[in-house]
Amino acid sequence: MKIAIIGATGGTGKHTVERALQLGHEVVAVARRPEQISPQKRLIIRKGDVLNGSSLAEAIAGVDVVISCIGPSGGSTSKGIMNTLTSNFSPGTVMSEGIPNIVEACRRVGVKRFVMQSGIGLSDGKELSVGSRLMLGINRRVFSKAITDKRAAEQSVQRSNLDWVIVRPAGLSHAEATLSYTAGPAARIAPFQPLSFADCADSLVRAATTEPGWIGKIVNVGK
């Protein structure tokens, strides 16, 4: 399968490129700074900016499925807790503006399947434990701007006519891949127990390639 991965230089994006290649897929890595991506066999590198719809349409032309790994800059723990907090307090509008542009680019070039990485913070918690629901409620109030930005992005995907999957991982870390995690629509996970970027990447590739039962669903991923 030919998979376009948008946000290929980010924390999850890098691992998603690697995982898709490991599984034998042809990958189109899309990034604003494509020079940061090292050439590999079966890897096509293209420049694309989620705030520039025409560049996206050119970048994803000819693929079978698109995976979006975009998010507020500085949102990974590798850059330190202060940068992570800053990106969530002041996330900008990269999700609410960028995701509709990706959806439109998919429509323009005829790509039907789209996978969006979101976050467990948008869950209302009804499928989770009482403690997790309380903590998510606090999280939504503290990081209300980030939640609002991602919610608008999710809604644009849900309104589309694409075969979409929204993946909501728990908090992410740079731990080693385990390939031992829980994933599925309304899956009961521990939202504040870190999931590795690599395991999140595996779930995104699964959503794009091997999980037809996830189409049109919101999928929780965690431990």
List, for residues 29-78, the tens digit of each pLDDT value: 999 999 999 999 999 999 999 999 889 999 999 999 999 999 876 444 44
- E strand intervals along 7-155: 26-31, 43-47, 65-68, 113-117
**Which amino acid would we find at residue 30?**
V
CATH entry 3.40.50.720 includes domain 2-72+94-119+150-222: yes
What is the percent of the chain where pLDDT is above 90?
A: 77
Give the chain's end-to-end CA distance (angstroms, integer): 28
The pLDDT value recorded for residue 143 is: 78
**pTM, rounded to two decimals:** 0.90
Task: Find the Cα–Cα–Cα–Cα dihedral 183, 185, 187, 189, rounded to 10°.
Answer: 60
pLDDT in tens, 189-200: 999 999 999 999
